[in-house]
Structure 1
């Protein structure tokens, strides 16, 4: 390889410094490629649409002298180096560092609450014979659609006990946490409120007593306070939200309001479908109107529509066959980082942005440098 050219005046020092916080699992002796450089190269490749370790190594090899010089690369790492190092990496530690960065970059304006949606996703391609695919629990900022935390859920447990570890790395004071019915647990609700957060949790069959209590409330006497109607893809969806104060008798910690959400979906040439669900929240009426509660409930699906769906469609994540060690989670983390980086620079169409970055190798590095301004 030719001697490295003089590095550009600007360099991705911020991301390199961020990755330097991650412990290198290798012994120092014989290490040819610094961990921050490997992670930065992989991030650039993922920003260019790379879906596998082979694609990451190919992008690194084709990146060119300007990128190599900016990162101080003398010898380009190959595919096996990325795969071997990422398998050993502490993926939860990496996610903690990346989440803290995203949280700092999206601090809510004074007088507004951060809205955090929590949900899990199984990486189906990581399934190995009878061993199920890796399952990751993530928390996303509803407004900015960036990942604030991610954590692996071990095969012998489930999401419920991991929620505290997931959110325990975040400043929850003043936030509102939304989650699906699996997390409608008394212990979880108390834990959130004790840390200064509020919750909005759906009640279903896993909490039969609470679900029955909420359904039995005199909803016909509660005035309709929020109604929305959306049209798109040949479908019309109407939502009617009612909320009422919870008096004595509802057996759930710190609960102050009960919520009823009725969804009616009409698709051409098909019978309309109506679904009614109930939720419970610690938000008082003077802080959360039915309109706001409707927005929170709908915003919860940000994590499905703007994270999980994007990773599946833009990156074909469920077909990525990485299985060894922590490689499935690390690659998911880098996809999260790429999506977060694009959203923080104003991108709305992720697939289009990946094509844009793929056309010129300096573009991913420029995006990273813009985040360091």
Structure 2
């Protein structure tokens, strides 16, 4: 337990490798080492490596997600149609190339309201993200206790009938894109009478030389079985028009949701559809840029997944404490190691 606490603290302070985790422990003064449980010296770096490459990555992810949730402040008053939105996305660890040449690929689920990665599973060799979705869903349910009312958003790869059945059977909802991997569904959505449907919501963003307009239309699917996707209650079309340096591009996206119109207005669908990108922008990119994940060549045992989980934990910790610049938060934690140890090891009553 002491070594795992060290690993969590070290990555919260910006450690990017097994060696850096061991160095962080070595660099502490003796009183701080003693507070972590090391009163007769510290273990060798190889001991830390052996532990972190043999841990059950799934169990570790669940334990640390639960630990973060227990330390998340109570949410303020929420709007009437507030809904917990979980974004699902995969990431390849490009530096973790196994002996047979395969790279480790992980599928994760992010609570977009807190910034906590609730679950992460390793995609099996010679497979893809689709079979990993059900284990991920089960892992999220284990952490939360129930999925009732929760909305899952994901890219078009996960617009699968089995996924829809798995989600709705647990009392949850879906908002999924329709693209070429579901040609019948995509064709049906594309030929809906969009010209006759009024605009439901329009947003305009401007910044960094870019202008973007997003226009949403939504329609209730009245005919049961009329759309080639189970539990689809509404269809939505989002047109994004972007102008950068005088060049304008236009992108059209079609989506289906299991939520009815009273529970999901076009403005809600707009917001929730954009939430899908949060796992890429707020987690995966931070792991790459701040923690240099793609340069880390750990490949033994569960080491790659364990290190990714520790990075997820660091990002989630800093976000629930109000930080948006994770690199700066890492540096501050490293400068204040005593405060960091106090915060991580202190008892805390759950507010969730």
TM norm structure 1 = 0.86
- Structure 1 residues 254-283: Cα deviation after superposition (integer angstroms, max 9, x where no partner): 1100010111111114x2111001000000
Whole-angstrom CA distance in 2 between matches of 1:292 and 1:258: 13
Equivalent position of 1:30 in the other structure: none
CA contact (8 A) 2:130 2:157 kept: yes
- Structure 1 residues 285-339: Cα deviation after superposition (integer angstroms, max 9, x where no partner): 0001000000000011110110001111110111011111111111111111111
RMSD: 1.7
Secondary structure of the corresponding residue to residue 297 of structure 2: coil
Secondary structure of the corresponding residue to residue 292 of structure 1: helix
Equivalent position of 1:362 in the other structure: 338
Q: 1:168 aligns with which of 125, 128, 138?
A: 138
CA contact (8 A) 1:199 1:282 kept: yes
Equivalent position of 1:7 in the other structure: none
Q: Aligned ranges for residues 110-259 of structure 1 at < 5 Å?
A: 112-128=82-98, 130-169=100-139, 170=141, 171-248=146-223, 249-259=226-236
- Structure 1 residues 177-234: Cα deviation after superposition (integer angstroms, max 9, x where no partner): 0011011011110111110001000000100000000000011111111111112222
Q: 1:316 aligns with which of 286, 292, 304?
A: 292
CA contact (8 A) 2:70 2:348 kept: no
Q: Which has the higher contact order (CA 8 A, sep 6+)?
A: 2
Which consecutive unaligned segments of at least 5 residues does structure 2 have? none
Which consecutive unaligned segments of at least 5 residues does structure 1 have? 1-35
Whole-angstrom CA distance in 1 between matches of 2:312 and 2:276: 17
- Structure 1 residues 44-91: Cα deviation after superposition (integer angstroms, max 9, x where no partner): 111111111111111100111232121221221222111111111111
- Runs of 4+ with deviation above 4 angstroms: 103-111
Whole-angstrom CA distance in 1 between matches of 2:347 and 2:294: 29
Kindly state the Cα deviation for residue 370 of structure 1 after the two structures are TM-superposed: 6.2
Whole-angstrom CA distance in 1 between matches of 2:179 and 2:31: 56
Pick closer, same or farther for the CA change 1:77–1:339 going to 2, 3 Å: same
Kindly state the Cα deviation for residue 129 of structure 1 after the two structures are TM-superposed: 5.4
Equivalent position of 1:297 in the other structure: 273
Secondary structure of the corresponding residue to residue 88 of structure 1: coil
Kindly state the Cα deviation for residue 130 of structure 1 after the two structures are TM-superposed: 4.4
TM norm structure 2 = 0.91
Whole-angstrom CA distance in 2 between matches of 1:62 and 1:274: 53
| Greater CA drift, 140-149 or 204-213 | 140-149
